[in-house]
Amino acid sequence: MTEVQFHFNVADRLGYACRLLRKAVRSGTRVAVTAPPATLSRLDRALWTFDPQEFLPHLLVRAGEPVPTRLRRTPIWLVERADLAAQHPVLVHLGEQPAEGFESFSRLIEIVSTDPAEREAARLRWKHYAGRGYAIAKFEAAAP
């Protein structure tokens, strides 16, 4: 069964996601990130610029576009739909609605900011996962 984690009170969701993805790459874990297209584009740019001393190999996968064979081993895939990267064990979700297809991943990580509307949407996602029998771990982001 998928392990579900919520990371709450994140001041900067994209910065937090970048640090989380860096940690995953350093540990050899492959990760998919789902979000609306605009958020994925911002995350794509952030992954290129958040640390000038380091490169995080990632791939922005557009729906309907095949992934070239030479790029399939890229450890971070940014996708609109989880099924486009189901071969990755971890799914980081930055969308408002529950992550569709999360069941095929070993772990689902939801990143939630301090914004009241975003926290309310996260409560609904929490209820969605809990209502389906998933145990949920809660993490509070450390203050910067």
| CA 56 vs CA 1, 132, 139: distances in Å | 29, 34, 24
Assign 81 a pLDDT band (cuts: 50, 70, 90): very high
Whether 88 contacts 40, CB under 8 Å: no
% helix, strand, coil for the chain, step of 5: 35, 25, 40
Res. 144: pLDDT tops 70 = no
Which tokens in the block code for residue 68?
């070239």
pLDDT of 3 above 90: yes
Total count of domains within the chain: 1
* Mean pLDDT over the full length of the chain: 94
Q: Which CATH number does the domain housing residue 133 bear?
A: 3.40.50.10110
pLDDT of residue 106 exceeding 80? yes
For 27, the domain range is 3-140
In the predicted structure, residue 62 carries a pLDDT above the cut 70: yes
Task: Please write the tens of the pLDDT for every residue from 6-61.
Answer: 999 999 999 999 999 999 999 999 999 999 999 999 999 999 998 889 889 999 99
Task: Give the whole-angstrom CA distance, residue 68 versus residue 113.
Answer: 34
Q: What is the pTM of this model?
A: 0.95
Question: How confident is the model at residue 119, as a pLDDT?
Answer: 96
Spatial separation of the C-alpha atoms in residues 5 and 127, rounded to whole Å: 13
